[in-house]
Amino acid sequence: MSAMESTQLLTLPTRPAILLVDDDAATRNLVSTYAEQLGYTINECRSAEEALKRLRENFCPIVLTDLNMPGMSGLAFCRELRARKWPGYTYIVVLTGDQEHAAVAALEAGADDCVRKDAPPAELKARLRVAERIVTLEHRLRRTLEARARQAATDALTSLPNRRAFDRQFNAEFKRARRFGEALSVLLIDVDHFKHINDEHGHLVGDDVLRALAGTLRTSLPRQFDILARFGGEEFAVVLPHTDREAAHHVGERLRTAVERTSIPTSAGPRMITISIGIGHMATRVIPEPLTTHDLLDEADRCLYESKRQGRNRVTAYPPAEPRSLADVSL
Query: Averaged over 315-323, what is the pLDDT?
Result: 79
Question: How far apart are the C-alpha atoms of 309 and 319, rounded to whole Å?
Answer: 12
Confidence of residue 22 (pLDDT cuts 50, 70, 90): very high
Residue-wise pLDDT for 149-180, tens only, equals: 888 889 999 999 999 999 999 999 999 998 88
Q: What pLDDT does 284 receive?
A: 65
Q: Which residues pair with 115 in a beta bridge?
A: 95
pLDDT at residue 113 greater than cutoff 90: yes
In terms of CATH architecture, what is 163-328?
2-Layer Sandwich (3.30)
Residue-wise pLDDT for 32-73, tens only, equals: 888 888 888 899 999 999 999 999 999 999 999 998 898 999
**What are the structural domain ranges in the chain?**
3-152, 163-328
Confidence of residue 7 (pLDDT cuts 50, 70, 90): very low
Catalytic positions, please?
234
3-state secondary structure the chain: CCHHHHHHHCCCCCCCCEEEECCCHHHHHHHHHHHHHCCCCEEEECCHHHHHHHHHHCCCCEEEEECCCCCCCHHHHHHHHHHCCCCCCCEEEEEECCCHHHHHHHHHCCCCEEEECCCCHHHHHHHHHHHHHHHHHHHHHHHHHHHHHHHHCECCCCCCECHHHHHHHHHHHHHHHHHHCCCEEEEEEEECCHHHHHHHHCHHHHHHHHHHHHHHHHHHCCCCCCEEEEEECCEEEEEEECCCHHHHHHHHHHHHHHHHCCEECCCCCCEECCEEEEEEEECCCCCCCCCCHHHHHHHHHHHHHHHHHCCCCCEECCCCCCCCCHHHCCC
Indicate the average pLDDT of the chain. 88
Check residues 91 and 181 and name the one with the higher pLDDT. Answer: 91
Q: What pLDDT does 285 receive?
A: 54
Pairing of the two strands 91-96 and 113-116: parallel
Query: Averaged over 100-129, what is the pLDDT?
Result: 89
pLDDT at residue 4 greater than cutoff 50: no
pLDDT at residue 322 greater than cutoff 70: no
Query: Averaged over 71-86, what is the pLDDT?
Result: 94
| Most confident of the ranges 98-112, 118-132, 235-249 | 235-249
CATH annotation of 3-152: 3.40.50.2300
% of the chain residues with pLDDT over 70: 90
